């Protein structure tokens, strides 16, 4: 008896799925909330030996990270920015004057390597993220999101902006 033609088409994707499931996962770090880090950003403290990146617009970023210079950020979404106290304070002024929906307050936290070393810090309305280390000294930080899976602060997901 000959196998049915559709069985051949199903066997290839099934085999690929099984092989993908056996591939080793990249080491994962952590994106943890820490009120001390939030106070650093609010105070305009610029961390030495860190490179800063942001998501969103330059004048009002949705998220900011500072990566320790011992690591290289690999990313397609984060934009590098040279920061100083004046820029951080300007961003804070913007954050204080905008009105966001409840549950989307700005928070800060730590970016940790899989072995618990501090790789950087973050400041965002979005408190969930994936951090990976694909190779030694290289870190990948993805776009953070809220617990509901959307992105706080966006017009298209319910954020409230005062347009008057």
Lowest mean pLDDT among 79-88, 125-134, 150-159: 150-159
Quick check: 65 pLDDT over 80?
yes
- Give residue 121's pLDDT band: very low, low, confident or very high (50, 70, 90): very high
Cα–Cα distance for residue pair 83/113, rounded to 1 Å? 24
pLDDT tens, residue by residue, 97-119: 765 555 578 899 999 999 999 99
Residues in the chain: 164
Cα–Cα distance for residue pair 62/104, rounded to 1 Å? 11
Cα–Cα distance for residue pair 88/41, rounded to 1 Å? 7
């Amino acid at each position: 008896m000959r196998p049915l033609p559709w069985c051949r088409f199903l066997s290839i994707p099934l085999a690929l799925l099984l092989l993908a499931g056996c591939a080793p996962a990249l080491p994962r770090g952590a994106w943890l909330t820490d009120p001390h880090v939030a106070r650093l950003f609010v105070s305009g403290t610029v961390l030495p030996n860190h490179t800063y990146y942001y998501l969103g617009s330059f004048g009002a970023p949705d998220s900011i990270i500072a990566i320790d210079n011992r690591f290289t950020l690999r990313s397609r979404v984060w934009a590098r920015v040279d920061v100083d106290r004046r820029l951080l304070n300007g961003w804070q002024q913007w954050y204080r004057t905008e009105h966001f929906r409840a549950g989307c307050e700005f928070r800060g936290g730590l970016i940790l390597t899989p072995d618990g070393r501090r790789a950087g810090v973050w400041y965002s309305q979005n408190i969930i993220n994936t951090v990976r280390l694909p190779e030694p000294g290289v870190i990948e930080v993805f776009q953070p999101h809220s617990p509901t899976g959307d992105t706080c602060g966006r017009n298209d997901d319910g954020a409230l902006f005062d347009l008057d």
